[in-house]
Chains A and B, each alone.
Chain A
Amino acid sequence: MSDTIERTDVLVIGSGFGGAIAAYHLAAGGAKVTVLERGPWLKNDEFEHDYQLGSSYTRIFDFVVGDGMSVLGGNCVGGGSVVYFAAMPRAPKFVFDRHGSIGRRMWPKSVSRETLDPWYDRIEESLSVSKQEWNDASYAGGLWGAACDHAGRTANPLAAAIDNSKCVNCNFMMAGCRFEAKQSLTVNYLPGALAHGAEIRPLHEVQYLERTPEGDYRVHYNIVDDEDYRLQSGSGVIEAKIVVMAAGAAATPVILQRSEAHLGTMPHAVGRYFSGNGERLNTAILNEDKVAEILGLSRGDGQLPYGANAIGKGPTVASWDKLDGSLPEYSRYSLEQLYFPPGLGTILAQAPDASGPTWFGKEKKEILKNWKSWLTIFCMTEDDNEGVFGPPPATGNAHRISQQLLGRGNLSYKPTDNTWHGWNQADADVKEILEKDGLAKVMPWTNDLVGAYTVHPLASCRMGDDPNTSALDDTNELRGHSGIFVTDGSAVPGALTVNPAMTIAALAERAVPHIVAAAQAKGIAVTYGAPAPTGYKSGRNAVLPLLRKKQLADA
């Protein structure tokens, strides 16, 4: 082994929204950027339509079972953006005024919908986020819209980062989109970062950080086998002046916890205040005759009027009637039509009116025969940030069980009465809408097997103004550890009541000029001001005056 220690200016841990956005801007600004990603790097033609273990469906995401909460997240170059469903709504205004479990505003006072809007604009430009029309809605989305209308509600096609001209509505987007219809980071920020000289290393799983005598950071990683993630083949270190942590809300706090022995005391909020974005799923089993008769829907050609669970592109239509800032906290939520593929979620669906067990057995098997007539409704409520990470596992962020996909983590989540209040209201609302006039039978997923279930982990290392309840200041820098920034979902202070990718990405964009300023202060020759990775400049032109006003160079 060589005695020469590898060095980079900026080390980015994770290549999802938080990591890719920072990597792009810093590389474009002239810094030497290295990205360590623990998952594999798949090319387009490796995104398969296949549920077999070992296909892209299991290689590129991770399911970590905790105590009372399971987290499904991305695990590949591009992170969550490769496995997500590309729904990109901005968070409603009231979210930024939430108090949550601390009894006072949990967001930094400098962040509001108004101040975040210019950063949201940048993401819309970079990822070609567009307002979807009803023509773009899948059968499932259309049906959800029609049911909402029948119940006297409104419904909206979702803003999405999808190029509809390329989409084939295969509904396999969770296994990666091989048609480049989904605007994952692998088609914008990451190629942009590479073009500016950034280096991306897949299968590098960061274990811990320590300080060098010069005050920089030495980052220790293990190399993971590209097929069987239980196997590791070696380890290494790399030194950097600035570290951007973006390993995801279920891994960033674990790495920091493991680093505490080397870096010194972590802020109290590291590994605490985890939020599952208040997520909950309900399965409706539709009565196709009623769908035709009451909603007047038809697919023609002797097809069932709905019968289309596998056709589409994830969520396309949501109900925002309860995103009403005048309602009390924990009673505001969105209800979104979602497709959830077989394999991991089907077991959690419960048979309505069962006389025996609801999640397994003969009655469960009967509802599986109606699988095409299932409609999944995704509730995103306001939870209470009650998740806490226990002591970190030996490596990674979980004890791996399966070759890919499945692990046991140390996250503990005991939902409070506040969280249950939101969940119960959302469940009741879904029931009221979909059981009206016998349209469907609805049951929520059971929490008894793997706990609550989130695909949008947040807030495990959150930003805020109060050092006692936030790990990061309002520039995303880790309190007490200058030069470490956290830009992934763990920085988001709490549940958003909508899909969070847009907000995670906007906060990452907002953090970049602060990271650049910190890098400059450490002598790195880097500037801020790159256009969108697509080359568009209007988003940049809108934010540059804000930065001048705030005199970021002195930050």
Chain B
Amino acid sequence: MRRIPIRKVDIAADATFTLEAYADTIVPGEKRWPGDRAIAGVSTGGGAVSCGALDLLRWDATGIHDGLEDLASQVNEHARAFAEKAGLTLDETVPPFVSLDYDDRVRLIEELTTPGHPEKDFWVLLSLFCNMAYDSAAHLHTDEALEEGHAGLTAMGITAPDADGLWRFQDFGYGRQLADLHPDTTPSGSPA
């Protein structure tokens, strides 16, 4: 039973919008509504955002919760510099990173996470949690996430647990010898 209540920080709309675009670049999904600007819409099915990336990022358990607005403003600064260098015109009605198309968002994240980049640690950490929202629903109990049709766990084919919330597999192997043993194997099964 958890003793510490779950605390989720609130962040401004523009920061949310920017971080959604970042999360969608890590694990892309489909647009939530026509004209959804954060989601690039380069993939079908749910991506990191619909899997709850912002919920996970805002949770104080991650340790990056307090830095989210800074990360959003920094990635927007990088996006502005990126656009200037590439001669792109940004749409001023949305944050700069959101204004970039998917391929440019990818290029920028590749730059930021390149070994040697002074801010690499931050961007890798942000990417890691965005990915975790999709591949392990780290902000939700796994059995409940599956029950609610979590897009990432479902796409990955993770099966439902038994009624008590535990996984058991009665059939687990092919049950027959499939290769010859190495000739130098000891009787207790170690390399000689």
Contact = CB atoms under 8 A, between A and B. Distances in A.
A538 to B, nearest CB: 13
Contact of B167 (A65, A124, A310, A334): A310
Contacts of B124: 449-450
Contact of B61 (A54, A91, A364, A408): A54
A449 B112 CA distance: 11
A448 interface: yes
A403 B155 contact: no
A12 interface: no
B88 interface: no
B44 to A, nearest CB: 10
Given A365-B27, A401-B125, A92 B169 contact: no
Contacts of B35: none
B129 to A, nearest CB: 9
A368 interface: yes
Contact of B187 (A131, A132, A341): A131
A420 interface: no
Interface string B136-148: 1111111100000
A504 to B, nearest CB: 15
Interface in A98-144: 120, 124, 129-132, 134-139, 141-143
A550 interface: no
Contacts of B175: 134-135
B63 A361 contact: no
A401 B129 CA distance: 12
A347 interface: yes
Given A52-B137, A89-B191, A155 B178 contact: yes
Interface in A307-332: 307-308, 310-313, 316-317, 319-321, 323
Given A149-B178, A361-B25, A49 B161 contact: yes
A90 B183 CA distance: 16
**Most chain B CB atoms below 10 A, which of A92, A360, A371:** A360
B189 interface: yes
Given A90-B186, A403-B60, A138 B2 contact: no
A402 B59 CA distance: 10
A524 interface: no
Given A357-B110, A368-B134, A54 B2 contact: yes
Interface in B169-192: 169, 171-192
A172 interface: yes
Contacts of B171: 299, 311
Contacts of A142: 173-174, 176, 178
Nearest to A140: B173
Contacts of B43: 362, 365
Nearest to A450: B124
Nearest to A299: B171
Interface in A134-160: 134-139, 141-143, 145-146, 148-149, 153-159
B63 A401 contact: yes
A53 B114 contact: no
A371 B142 contact: no
Given A135-B175, A156-B182, A169 B142 contact: no
A360 B167 contact: no
Interface centre among A120, A131, A310, A365, by most B CB within 10 Å?
A365
A137 B172 CA distance: 8
Given A149-B179, A154-B183, A448-B114, A368 B156 contact: yes
Contacts of B83: none
Interface string A346-363: 110000000011001110
A51 B56 CA distance: 12
B66 to A, nearest CB: 11
A424 B121 CA distance: 26
B85 interface: no
Contacts of A148: 179
Contacts of A311: 169, 171-172
Contact of A498 (B140, B155, B191): B191
Given A50-B141, A142-B173, A156 B189 contact: yes
A357 B112 CA distance: 13
Given A137-B174, A142-B178, A360-B131, A93 B192 contact: yes
Nearest to B167: A170
A145 B181 CA distance: 10
A194 interface: no
Contacts of B138: 51-53, 343
Given A131-B188, A361-B106, A401-B64, A346 B180 contact: no
A493 B42 CA distance: 50
Contacts of B134: 365, 368
A171 interface: yes
Contacts of A526: none
B143 A403 contact: no
B189 A49 contact: no
B114 to A, nearest CB: 7
**Residue in B26, B125, B191 with the greatest tally of chain A CB atoms within 10 Å:** B191
Interface of B: 2-4, 25-28, 42-43, 47, 59-64, 102-103, 106, 109-110, 113-115, 121, 124-125, 127-128, 131-132, 134-143, 152, 155-159, 161, 165-169, 171-192
Interface of A: 49-55, 65, 89-93, 120, 124, 129-132, 134-139, 141-143, 145-146, 148-149, 153-159, 168-172, 178, 226-228, 230, 297, 299, 307-308, 310-313, 316-317, 319-321, 323, 334, 341-344, 346-347, 356-357, 360-362, 364-365, 368-369, 371-372, 400-404, 406, 408, 448-450, 498, 502
Q: What are the 8 closest A-B residue pairs judged by CB atoms, nearest first?
A: A131-B189, A159-B189, A155-B179, A169-B172, A149-B179, A145-B178, A168-B168, A51-B136
29 contacts: A52-B137, A53-B138, A131-B187, A132-B189, A137-B178, A141-B173, A148-B179, A154-B179, A154-B180, A156-B182, A169-B169, A169-B172, A226-B3, A228-B61, A299-B171, A308-B172, A310-B167, A317-B179, A323-B184, A342-B132, A343-B132, A360-B127, A362-B28, A364-B27, A368-B152, A406-B63, A448-B113, A449-B124, A450-B124
Given A319-B182, A347-B127, A449-B127, 13 more contacts: A53-B59, A131-B189, A134-B175, A155-B178, A155-B179, A155-B182, A169-B168, A228-B61, A360-B127, A368-B27, A401-B62, A402-B61, A406-B125
